[in-house]
Structure 1
Amino acid sequence: MPRFSIIVPVFKVRGYLHACLDSVLGQSYRDIEVIAVDDRSPDECGAILDAYAARDDRLQVLRLPENVGLGRARNAGMPHATGDYLFFLDSDDTLTPGALRALADRLDETGDPDVLVFDYARTHWWGGTRRNALAQLLAVEDVFTAAERPEILDLLMVVWNKVYRRDFVEREGFTFPPGYYEDTPWTFPVLLSAERVATLDRICVYYRQRRRGSILSTTSRKHFDVHEQYARVFRFVDARPALAHWRPFLHAKMGEHCLDILSKPDRLPPSDRGEFFRRTAEMFRAHRPDGAPVPAELRVLEGGYAAYVLRRQAGRAGRELGRRARQTRTASAARYARARAALPHSLDPDLAVYSAFSHRGVLGDPAAIHRAAREIAPHIRGVWVVADEERAAALPPDTDYVLLDSPEYRRVTGRATYFVNNVNWPGALLKRPGSVHIHTHQGTPLKYMGADLLGRPGARLGTDVPRMLRRADRWDHSLVANRHSELVWERAYPCHFASARTGSPRNDVLVAAPGERGRAVRARLGVPDGDTVVLYAPTRRDYRRDGLVERIDLARFAADLGSGHTLVVRLHPSLAAGPARGLGLTELHRRGVLVDATDEPEVQDVLLASDVLVTDYSALMFDYALLDRPIVLHADDWDAYRASRGAYLDITAEAPGRVTRSYGELARLFGSGSWRDEESARLRSAFRERFCEFDDGRAAERVVRTLMLGEPMPEAAAGPVPVPSQGAGAGLPAPS
């Protein structure tokens, strides 16, 4: 008996069917059967199914004599299922790599629950990917019932984001009804009846968003089916007195769902909209529980259709007024900034404004400069710009800050003398005569930046290079850690700044390499004493719109490293809030397979806690070289990366350590121990000499004294940086 019976209804999806079947049959987990139900598809889907069935005996094709629709096609497949769990997958969607293995592991971990709910991501026709906005509801360790966690019913009411224990489905007699919205009278009864529900915080399905929309996006009277579908739900609850307490919840859900359909201008013919509202209102009144309050947003159903239309029109008018008000405020802020810049009063020589990573908090080079200024020049008041109150709440308790675009922000930036940032300031901030703008950048450049992107249309997608250069015209000083950076920044940003050979302030801590700090981070991350920490830090890709390309099977890599090793993963900041972590990283962290250190605020802490860095083309390698610890460059797509983004040097020819071109090479490198051999050390030494020449541990001090206080101070001595005296692991246990 297979673990999963995957039922795939098929109708007019010839352009997507190959991808769907490939994603299922190509899974590493193979204990499955696939039941493809050809719902009398008029295109070539039948031939495609036959070809796949001839190659893989796990696929069986069921042909229906007439078209019956999505729900009843699923019903037709269920009697043929023999697996422990039913999985209903739409034929234009796809499974993510490793999805079935993750589902099987979670089922084992939770003792075969009735239902396992997992995550998904929408994939748009234009290339974007967006994770389910309610993914946090899936981060639940134990099994539960809907009564214990009713928020599970706030998830999208679809059938394909769950797997169902087959004997549970058969015992309860669940089936799909005909018509639109057939998932509604399946999902609510299933979740309300399940005695054991489990969740998996992992994206297992890519939910394709077609340009022309789904069948539910079409204009049709079939949308009236939603009323009967909810009537089925209410009949189910009425037949089970123990579920009576769910009636207020379901009553509200029904009202919300129907009003949502009515709010979409392309769902119903204009002549049918009044009838749809009236039928919804009738049903809303008929099923209203005695004494149950009506939510404010649903009270419109207690009035007539004319009142509903007037309210909709008023809402649109209000939104338009709000939009115009925002435009007026923005224009006023720009005029205010220009007026402030022209004021005759002098700047405050003791006021500095800091920002990092688009106003995320006290981070990076600006943070290191701020700390040094507090010690060396305590008379200079440092004020941080943060994006919102949530960011402000996470600041250190003694941090002076202003919110972006607030009146306080405009007052501070109108008077400050010093501006320190690793990202460009907003365009509305005008540079006043006498102010000093210090730009720190975010690392040594490998990939093309600034004006060099003009020849790379794919890499500059969404980037206004001329505007970027106009903002860079405000820079007075550009900090550099090596001559390579100096030359690149002057070419990529043909502006009026002067290069400052200060070194990178954020990396002062790496030159000192305090062992106790690294040990503290290891303890915080839960790394066992004595383990060798392998840090994997990949960068984003410009040949994919969302930047995410999975180069390594992380579970396999962690297993191949073996006992005595801890794999720590640090994603690129631009991928941290996207779907990347939901594609397995979060789940593997929860299970203790690896450590996800993406949320560690200071990346230097993660570097200090590690014994070896595995990266592709991340600028972290230039910082990590300061630790004089092994670096492995995994460059399996170097040609594609360089062709799409552009690179200032062939990093595979001037690598900081061993280079691998496939996962097999990477695994063998660690299996043999050659990742830390003499050749690795030789390559690292040459790399350090070239790219770490100005980093001597005094960069932040140098910035404060020379660029803020105007004191004479020699530049950092060029040449190889002293090797940290603590050795491998910065005082941590050396790799065995």
Structure 2
Amino acid sequence: MTLLSFVVPAYRVQGYLRECLDSILDQPYDDLEVIGIDDASPDDSGEILLEYAERDPRVRPVRLAENVGLGPARNLGLDRATGEYVWFVDGDDWLVPGCLPHVAARLVATRPDVLIVDHVRAHWNNVGTRSAMREVFPEPPGEATFRLPDRPEAMRLLHTAWNRLVRREFLVDRGLRFAPGWYEDVSFSYPVLMAASRIGVLDRVCLNYRQRRTGAITRTRGDRHFEVFAQWHRVFRLLDRWDGEVGGLRPAVFERMIWHYLTVLGNGERIAPELRPAFFAQIHADYTRFLPPGGYPVPPGVEGLKHRLVATGRWRTFSALRDANQAAETARRNARKVRRRVLPVARRTARRARDAALREYYRGELHRPLDPTLAVFAAYWYRGYACNPAAIYAAARRLAPQVRGLWVVRRDRVHTLPPGVEYVVAGTRDYYRALARARWLVNNVNFPDFVRKRPGSVHLQTHHGTPVKVMGLDQQRYPMGATGMDFAKLLRRVDRWDFSVSSNSFSTQMWERAYPAAYTTLEVGYPRNDRLALATPDECRQVRKELGIGLDEFVVLYAPTHREHLPGWRPPFDPDRMRDVLGPSGRLLMRSHYFHDRDRRPKGPDAGGVLDVSGHDRVEDLYLVADVLVTDYSSAMFDYAVLDRPIVVYAPDWDAYRVARGVYFDLLAEPPGAVASDFPALLEVFASGALRAPEAENHRRRFRARFCALEDGYAAERVVRRVFLDEPA
């Protein structure tokens, strides 16, 4: 019999589900199964479960026709489980590496009905907070099992399903299942402890409890929080039924109930002000209804005062006490800010004074009406006309001519703008006025921090590539690649987004976890790839002619990305040796990353078939003329794959890169073509013809199916119709 059955319900967790599944399947322990329940999730959670099942027989996906909720979904998983123990792990949480051998050893050694494991709260800002394990068990609990009446303090551990493994036959024999509705853990976890004959505690952190910035019920206001009362009523009905077995537990259970009610009420992100009196009234009613005849251990201090106010139903006094505590905490925070405040610099430079005056001008412009026809476009920190914003701008000129498109550009890049494109120079009065009054703001990166999100304005974030490396909040785990980043400011910028363009389902999943906010995702393909999807042989020949490349030349484009953790480092690459391998008809184009544009120098004529095209502004031209792309971890591979031409991954520092910078998937295991881990191997790929071998072709076919399915040439039109013309998705 399998020892461990993991039941993983999935509903709107596509951004986190891969990490959850990987954390289970990559453990140094194999005697397990994963039952993934797609609870009719409207995102791609179900597809992710199917994907994992295809490559790992331990994963058994179940797809539900309609949404049933977390509790019933867990029950369905329990019914399909075959393991001796069941572990209900939520799809947005993840296991600690290497924990399973310790869990399995304890289960085999003690055979408990329930094994409670420790956890940490993993907050979205990369802060981890410990559980109450140390407070509940100041001394290590040891390996001996116990019954709850002997150690009722175990109830003070968080009452969730995912911090305990439960023997499956015990659940079946006692008929213990999850109830529908919110707070379903309450009416499962407490009865499990009450009914267990053997409870064990493993004093080891085994699970990361993700504290999401958006999407969690603990951050969702509404009247569904009143469902907590029904869950506790179920607990007390079981107490009445089992009174002979669990005598003496009622006072401790009652105290936990009142604690939980007050926790929910005290969270302003759950109970709206207008609902608090009714919620308090229900607490008072349950206090009166379930109060044990002999009383219960009332906590000391302020918490005990709250209990006494609940007992007497004094809502006004309770509310006043709450307001006074919040005011005191606000005063303490303000005092700390004053102590940390840095005195302003007495003497400012002329440039700072000018900038300050322009910011004042901007703030004044914010009070003027929005220009209902103005759309401001920008790309790559004002480097010019490029990428998804450029494709959307062109489509808007055709489909929404009433929209006036205005580009923001650096002064040194004005000359790169196409004829007829209206622009403002970054940092000028016109620039500040445009940012303040535009109805639409379109960018493939973020606008500066000072930009305000005005009511009625629309911010469109287009991004500029499908991510291989980790992005956004995920970079907190890889500080070498996040030097100087302020994640709090990043989130304030993300909160301005109304729409986020995604090129494929994978990107949507990663953006949701990297940039958690309330924007609407437009999973439509990348507008910048429309040209590649619709390119004709005549256009490709014309671009070759414009670049001075012969129709019979074999063109290789080498386009590596930059390394934030190794600034200035370049992969080992010898253009002359590569050119020799390509032969007399070969042409090598070399393009640096745009982050290195200030290092460019004027280049001379094409020398020996090697041409530096770093200064060429339209990378799509280079894709169209190239017969092969050689890259490493650049998003260029996802764009170039639209053309269905050979791609070679040259990754000499893969192991170091994924450890230092972090990656979202194993590029060497799921490449878009042939792979070379050093320069001699790269030369061999071309010398041997491996770049067109069946294995490389199969890799490219799977890669295109995963990442390029939406690239049909009409992504920009879909964005324009949704954002500028307000047509239904």
State the TM-score, normalizing by the size of structure 2. 0.51
* 1:476 alignment partner, one of 489, 498, 502: 498
**Cα distance in 2, alignment partners of residues 433 and 489 from structure 1:** 24
Asked whether the 8 Å contact 2:358–2:429 carries over to 1, the reply is: no
**Cα distance in 2, alignment partners of residues 364 and 592 from structure 1:** 31
C-alpha change, 1:614 and 1:699, in structure 2 (3 Å) is: same
Asked whether the 8 Å contact 1:614–1:632 carries over to 2, the reply is: yes
Structure 2 residue 578 is matched with structure 1 residue 557:
yes
**Cα distance in 1, alignment partners of residues 627 and 660 from structure 2:** 32
Q: Which residue of 2 aligns with 1:454?
A: 476
Question: How far off is 1:568 after superposition?
Answer: 1.1
**Cα distance in 2, alignment partners of residues 325 and 664 from structure 1:** 55
Q: Which residue of 2 aligns with 1:493?
A: 515
Structure 2 residue 549 is matched with structure 1 residue 527:
yes
Asked whether the 8 Å contact 2:526–2:711 carries over to 1, the reply is: yes
Asked whether the 8 Å contact 1:424–1:471 carries over to 2, the reply is: yes
* 2:410 alignment partner, one of 372, 387, 393: 387
C-alpha change, 1:577 and 1:559, in structure 2 (3 Å) is: farther
Asked whether the 8 Å contact 1:447–1:646 carries over to 2, the reply is: yes
Secondary structure of the 2:442 match is strand
**Cα distance in 1, alignment partners of residues 559 and 354 from structure 2:** 41
Question: How far off is 1:326 after superposition?
Answer: 2.5
Q: Which residue of 1 aligns with 2:349?
A: 324
C-alpha change, 1:571 and 1:361, in structure 2 (3 Å) is: same
Question: How far off is 1:703 after superposition?
Answer: 0.8
| Matches for 1:54-65 after TM superposition, within 5 Å | none
**Cα distance in 2, alignment partners of residues 346 and 575 from structure 1:** 39
Question: How far off is 1:591 after superposition?
Answer: 2.4
Q: Which residue of 1 aligns with 2:524?
A: 502
Q: Which residue of 1 aligns with 2:625?
A: 609
Asked whether the 8 Å contact 2:494–2:517 carries over to 1, the reply is: yes
C-alpha change, 1:326 and 1:509, in structure 2 (3 Å) is: same
Secondary structure of the 1:555 match is helix
| Matches for 1:305-704 after TM superposition, within 5 Å | 323-341=348-366, 343=367, 345-388=368-411, 390-546=412-568, 548-578=569-599, 590-704=606-720
Asked whether the 8 Å contact 2:504–2:709 carries over to 1, the reply is: yes
Question: Identity percentage over the alignment?
Answer: 45
Asked whether the 8 Å contact 1:384–1:399 carries over to 2, the reply is: yes
**Cα distance in 1, alignment partners of residues 609 and 487 from structure 2:** 42
Offset from partner CA, 1:476-507 (integer Å, 9 cap, x none): 11100111111111111122312111211000
C-alpha change, 1:712 and 1:543, in structure 2 (3 Å) is: closer
Which stretches in structure 2 are left out of the alignment for 5+ residues?
Answer: 1-344
Tell me the amino acid that sits aligned with residue 325 of structure 1: A
Secondary structure of the 1:575 match is helix
Asked whether the 8 Å contact 2:530–2:714 carries over to 1, the reply is: yes
**Cα distance in 2, alignment partners of residues 503 and 322 from structure 1:** 50
Question: How far off is 1:323 after superposition?
Answer: 4.4
**Cα distance in 2, alignment partners of residues 607 and 496 from structure 1:** 35
C-alpha change, 1:697 and 1:590, in structure 2 (3 Å) is: closer
Offset from partner CA, 1:431-454 (integer Å, 9 cap, x none): 111100001111100101111111
Please tell me the root mean square deviation across aligned C-alpha atoms, in Å: 2.0
Asked whether the 8 Å contact 1:338–1:430 carries over to 2, the reply is: no
Question: How far off is 1:321 after superposition?
Answer: 11
Which stretches in structure 1 are left out of the alignment for 5+ residues?
Answer: 1-319, 714-736
Offset from partner CA, 1:287-334 (integer Å, 9 cap, x none): xxxxxxxxxxxxxxxxxxxxxxxxxxxxxxxxx999433223323333
Asked whether the 8 Å contact 2:586–2:609 carries over to 1, the reply is: no
Asked whether the 8 Å contact 1:453–1:465 carries over to 2, the reply is: no
**Cα distance in 2, alignment partners of residues 704 and 383 from structure 1:** 15
C-alpha change, 1:338 and 1:710, in structure 2 (3 Å) is: same
Tell me the amino acid that sits aligned with residue 355 of structure 1: A
Tell me the amino acid that sits aligned with residue 449 of structure 2: G
Asked whether the 8 Å contact 1:525–1:597 carries over to 2, the reply is: no
Question: How far off is 1:396 after superposition?
Answer: 2.0
Q: How many residues align?
A: 385
Tell me the amino acid that sits aligned with residue 356 of structure 1: A
**Cα distance in 1, alignment partners of residues 712 and 538 from structure 2:** 20
Tell me the amino acid that sits aligned with residue 573 of structure 2: I
Q: Which residue of 2 aligns with 1:705?
A: 721
Question: How far off is 1:414 after superposition?
Answer: 2.0
Tell me the amino acid that sits aligned with residue 576 of structure 1: D
Asked whether the 8 Å contact 2:541–2:551 carries over to 1, the reply is: no
Asked whether the 8 Å contact 1:542–1:641 carries over to 2, the reply is: no
Tell me the amino acid that sits aligned with residue 419 of structure 2: P
Tell me the amino acid that sits aligned with residue 563 of structure 1: P
**Cα distance in 2, alignment partners of residues 545 and 566 from structure 1:** 28
Offset from partner CA, 1:360-413 (integer Å, 9 cap, x none): 21111111101001100111111111121x322332221111111211122222
Secondary structure of the 1:519 match is helix
Asked whether the 8 Å contact 2:470–2:664 carries over to 1, the reply is: yes
Secondary structure of the 1:577 match is helix
Question: How far off is 1:590 after superposition?
Answer: 4.6
Question: How far off is 1:643 after superposition?
Answer: 1.1
Tell me the amino acid that sits aligned with residue 413 of structure 2: R
Offset from partner CA, 1:569-598 (integer Å, 9 cap, x none): 11111123327x79xxx57x6523401111
Question: How far off is 1:707 after superposition?
Answer: 1.2
Tell me the amino acid that sits aligned with residue 561 of structure 2: T
Question: How far off is 1:666 after superposition?
Answer: 1.7
C-alpha change, 1:394 and 1:403, in structure 2 (3 Å) is: same
Question: How far off is 1:557 after superposition?
Answer: 0.9
Tell me the amino acid that sits aligned with residue 713 of structure 2: G
**Cα distance in 2, alignment partners of residues 576 and 415 from structure 1:** 31
Secondary structure of the 2:482 match is coil
Tell me the amino acid that sits aligned with residue 357 of structure 2: S
**Cα distance in 1, alignment partners of residues 433 and 534 from structure 2:** 38
**Cα distance in 2, alignment partners of residues 325 and 661 from structure 1:** 52
State the TM-score, normalizing by the size of structure 1. 0.50
Asked whether the 8 Å contact 1:479–1:504 carries over to 2, the reply is: yes
**Cα distance in 2, alignment partners of residues 567 and 590 from structure 1:** 10
Question: How far off is 1:338 after superposition?
Answer: 3.1
Tell me the amino acid that sits aligned with residue 690 of structure 2: S
Secondary structure of the 1:517 match is helix
Secondary structure of the 1:534 match is strand
